[in-house]
Amino acid sequence: MKLYNIKENDEQVSFGQAVRQGLGRNQGLFFPSQLPQFDDVDALLDEDFIARSTKILSALIGDELASEQVNAMVDAAFQFPAPIKQVKQGVYALELFHGPTLAFKDFGGRFMAQSLAAVSNGGKITILTATSGDTGAAVAHAFYGMEDINVVILYPKGKISPLQEKLFCTLGKNIHTVAIDGDFDACQALVKQAFDDAALREEIGLNSANSINISRLMAQICYYFEAAAQLTKQQRENLVVSVPSGNFGNLTAGLLAKAMGLPIKRFIAATNVNDTVPRYLETGQWDPKPTVATTSNAMDVSQPNNWPRIEELCQIKGWGLDTLGKGAVTDQQSAEAVQELHQLGYLCEPHGAIAYRVLGEQLAEGETGLFLCTAHPAKFKEVVDDILSSDIDLPAPLAKHAAMELLSEDLANDFEALKQVLRKVQK
Ligand SMILES: Cc1ncc(COP(=O)(O)O)c(C=O)c1O
């Protein structure tokens, strides 16, 4: 597999290098030079999840890894299903929260851990990642206890749900969690600064597990195929997929799936009021505003990292950006959507409900709608209970961590202070 740096096209890397390095020169994202094309998608969809995902990922990775090895990686990473549930006539939820940390990030985080182990050339590795809530947990659990890998996770202090925090800030061992005095964009900016520091990168073997890392996105492509496989041929010919978006990794993966041949009629980018992308699609002006805290906090992102990959792909494929659906939803509207779904007999948290809401506004007669449910409702228990006046049960992994002590350290939004932490965890 060859990939190039979107910002500095002469930087070309292999899959192994892209996974080890995370980000290219000048903070450029890596993008595949060629995308495999599946001509007989129906036959591919007839395969089971693991066999099909192995084919998709092997086709992407090419001869750098044997397909038996990719199969073993997929088998280890994807040990949980991605079922679709019908919520009403013609509208389905894709449940991506059946992994160990109850969010879609388990697919990418676990496949990235497998990928890094497969392509590592021996030295020490420090995974530095910023999280708006769910990435941290998925990455922490995927890498927990792995030898020679230290994980440092930055998150905005007081701006993620208490249960999200408990799920990854209680592990210890090689997992170090840092509560930054700032918002998610500040955390992400610190990570980028660390990557820009070549000496530091070398010294600590810096890597990122954010959706910057191509291996995460590659894993996410597979569940779009899995969703389509559960629909009839007729339904998937008119399929509209609504993606709750923050950093836009999930939508990038969906568009990559389409580019590889998955018949998806159109995508909808659904955000909360942090609506840089919907406004950009409307006006052509890239004008990020200060990030606003919402009840869908994992999408409180106003400078989405993966957007350049979407522009790149649309340009390559000749897809006009105007073919992307879009919509921004207030907390009040997302609460209404949670209530509406509850009345339909489906329990959903605000991120998935935002995708449902925008889908409902834009789905046309004769189309099949699919919205992505990116987290288990109990991960946002406080918000969901408040909206529904309920007391929903915690699934076992959450209940266990909720009772454990937080191990995070607090840190100012300051790069020099972060460098000290990164050096300290090496010792
Ligand atoms: C529950 C949940 N939904 C949606 C998103 C947004 O996904 P993306 O950042 O890939 O756009 C996130 C990201 O953290 C999330 O945790």
Decide if pLDDT at 331 tops 70: yes
**pLDDT value at residue 121:** 77
Q: How far is the CA of 374 from the centre of ligand 1 (A)?
A: 7
* Amino acid, single-letter form, for residue 268: I
Q: How far is the CA of 105 from the centre of ligand 1 (A)?
A: 8
Residue 410, helix vs strand vs coil: strand
Give the residue from 235, 250, 248 showing the smallest Cα distance to 275: 248
Whole-number Å distance between alpha carbons of 335 and 320: 32
pLDDT at 324: 97
- Whether this model's pTM surpasses 0.85: yes
Atom of ligand 1 nearest to the CA of 135: 14
| Cα(39) to centroid(ligand 1), Å | 30
Separation of 122 CA from ligand 1 center, angstroms? Answer: 32
Cα 184 to middle of ligand 1, angstroms: 12
SS3 at position 19: helix
For 67-87, how does the pLDDT look when each residue is reduced to its tens digit (9 = 90+)? 999 999 999 999 999 999 999
Ligand 1 pocket by Cβ (under 6 Å)? 103, 132-135, 211, 244-250, 298-299, 351, 374-375
> Per residue in 201-232, pLDDT tens?
889 988 877 768 899 999 999 999 999 999 99
User: What's the confidence (pLDDT) of residue 211?
Assistant: 66
Looking up tokens 């599946």 gives: 38
Average pLDDT over residues 386-392: 97
- Share the mean pLDDT of the chain: 94
Sign of CA dihedral 330, 335, 339, 345: positive
Which numbered atom of ligand 1 lies nearest the CA of 351? 3
Closest residue (by CA) to atom 9 of ligand 1? 247
Query: Residue 161 above 90 pLDDT?
Result: no
Is there a contact between 132 and 299 (Cβ–Cβ < 8 Å)? yes
| pLDDT in the model for residue 232 | 96
Going by pLDDT thresholds of 50, 70 and 90, the confidence category of residue 262 is very high
* Atom of ligand 1 at shortest range from CA of 248: 11
Average pLDDT over residues 39-66: 97
* Amino acid 387: pLDDT: 98
In ligand 1, the atom with minimum distance to the C-alpha of 349 is 1
Chain mean position to CA 118: 21
Question: For residue 114, what pLDDT is reported?
Answer: 93
Distance between CA 23 and CA 201 in Å, rounded? Answer: 11
